[in-house]
Amino acid sequence: MSIPELSFEQWALIADIYTPVLVVISLKLLYLSSGDPRKAEIKALLATTAVVYISMFLDDYFSIWPAFGADYSTHSGIALVFVVHIIIKSAWRARILAIGSLLAYLQLMHHQHYHTYLDMSSTLIYLLPLFWLTWRQFAVKRAD
């Protein structure tokens, strides 16, 4: 028995569903958190989302990615916002699944010709250190 191939539209639907699924998982993690940690997570999520969109506007204005033949991938950046949250707040199995899901999503975007590997990898390499700094800034400090 062979597996039927999916159409372009079916793959597009899967791509469209990916980020909302990540949002639902992040909301569940926020629900499970409380008090200061929850507030810190919300601030970090809002700040990293702002970083993604500010970067998009800067790229549009200064043509940063086109200067090296690429395109800033807002889709990759927004997915990374929630994958990072899942990685930070979850057990190791969920972390592995989150990373694997992001890699699968990147492959799907390439398959659909939404972005090149250069677009997506350069966007993620640029955003990861900014996200690290952001999460560090908003992390709840423990009194030792």
What is the pLDDT at residue 143? 46
| Spatial distance between the Cα atoms of 56 and 50, rounded to a whole number of angstroms | 10
Q: Are the beta carbons of 18 and 77 closer than 8 angstroms?
A: no
- Report field, pTM of the whole predicted structure over 0.85: yes
- Cβ-contact 108, 15 below 8 angstroms: yes
Nearest to 59 by CA among 132, 134, 135, 126: 126
Residue 144: its pLDDT value, please? 42
Provide the residue ranges of all domains of the chain, joining segments of one domain with +: 27-138
How far is residue 39 from each of residues 31, 34, 44, 84, 131, measured CA to CA in Å? 11, 8, 9, 16, 17
pLDDT tens, the chain, 144 aa long: 666 799 999 999 999 999 999 999 999 999 999 889 999 999 999 999 999 999 999 999 999 999 999 999 999 999 999 999 999 999 999 999 999 999 999 999 999 999 999 999 999 999 999 999 999 998 765 544
Contact 142, 36 (CB under 8 A): no
